[in-house]
């Protein structure tokens, strides 16, 4: 524990980004076929853990007046993590309703809302966050695009979604490490350049 005391909350973004990276790596493993579908309940467990982290991050960011980050973490905590977790358990153990297979196209419509919101919020990230965070959001947009349209059965983009999310996770790890190391050393260890849009 740190002996440095300060007013308010410390920046919780590194924890939220680690949770996002774990989810992205896990989705990569499933969507790329690196692990079998028997791993789906385990993915549900990891997403449930990510929900706990991201809901706390959302609360702190909103409490500290971070409109964009707080809302993004809140939406992702609820739908990417919590709903995703429950869905994976449902799909693993209850794949039919009254003998009829669950129509998972509904997921595509819900992912479509997340895609539209992300696309509309992306310029705010490109204007206010580091260029590396802007890159993360762009690759996340791509991943969500391919997931949404795959679930809608309009296209098969599982592999594209997998690699977009893997890159998102790698960038998330970098940003989380940069925030922690730069704060600990009081200087730039890992650079986080300014926003893409001035």
Q: What is the pLDDT of residue 6?
A: 60
Segment 151-173, tens digit of pLDDT? 999 999 899 999 999 999 999 99
Mean pLDDT, the chain, whole residue set: 94
Residue position matching structure tokens 């819900």: 110
Summarize the confidence of residues 173-180 as an average pLDDT.
Answer: 98
The band of 2, judged by pLDDT with boundaries at 50, 70 and 90, is very low
Distance CA 198, CA 195 (A): 6
| pLDDT 10s digits, 5-41 | 467 889 999 999 999 999 999 999 999 999 998 999 9
* Residue 99: pLDDT over 90: no
Query: pTM for this structure?
Result: 0.93
Rounded Cα distance, 69 and 57, in Å: 9
3-class DSSP string for the chain: CCCCCCCCCCCCHHHHHHHHHHHHHHHHHHHCCCCCHHHHHHHHHHHHHHHHHHHHHHHHHHHCCCHHHHHHHHHHHHHHHHHHHHHHHHHHHCCEECCEECCCHHHHHHHHHHHHHHHHHHHHHHHHCCHHHHHHHHHHHHHHHHHHHHHCCCCCCHHHHHHHHHHHHHHHHHHHHHHHHHHHHCCCCCCCCCCCCC
């Amino acid at each position: 524990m740190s002996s440095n005391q300060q007013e308010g909350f410390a920046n919780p973004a590194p924890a939220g980004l680690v949770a996002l990276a774990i989810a992205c790596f896990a989705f990569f493993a499933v969507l790329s076929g690196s692990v079998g579908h028997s791993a789906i309940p385990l993915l549900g467990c990891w997403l449930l853990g990510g929900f706990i982290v991201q809901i706390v991050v959302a609360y702190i960011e909103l409490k500290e007046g971070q409109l964009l980050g707080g809302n993004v973490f809140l939406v992702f905590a609820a739908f990417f993590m919590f709903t995703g977790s429950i869905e994976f358990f449902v799909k693993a153990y209850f794949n039919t309703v009254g003998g009829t297979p669950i129509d998972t196209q509904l997921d595509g419509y819900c992912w479509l809302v997340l895609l539209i919101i992300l696309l509309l919020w992306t310029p705010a990230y490109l204007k206010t966050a580091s260029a590396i965070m802007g890159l993360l959001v762009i690759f996340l947009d791509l991943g969500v695009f391919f997931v949404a349209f795959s679930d809608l059965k309009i296209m098969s983009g599982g592999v594209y979604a997998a690699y977009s999310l893997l890159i998102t996770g790698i960038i998330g790890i970098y940003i989380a490490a940069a925030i922690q190391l730069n704060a600990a050393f009081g200087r730039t260890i890992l650079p986080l350049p300014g926003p893409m849009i001035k």
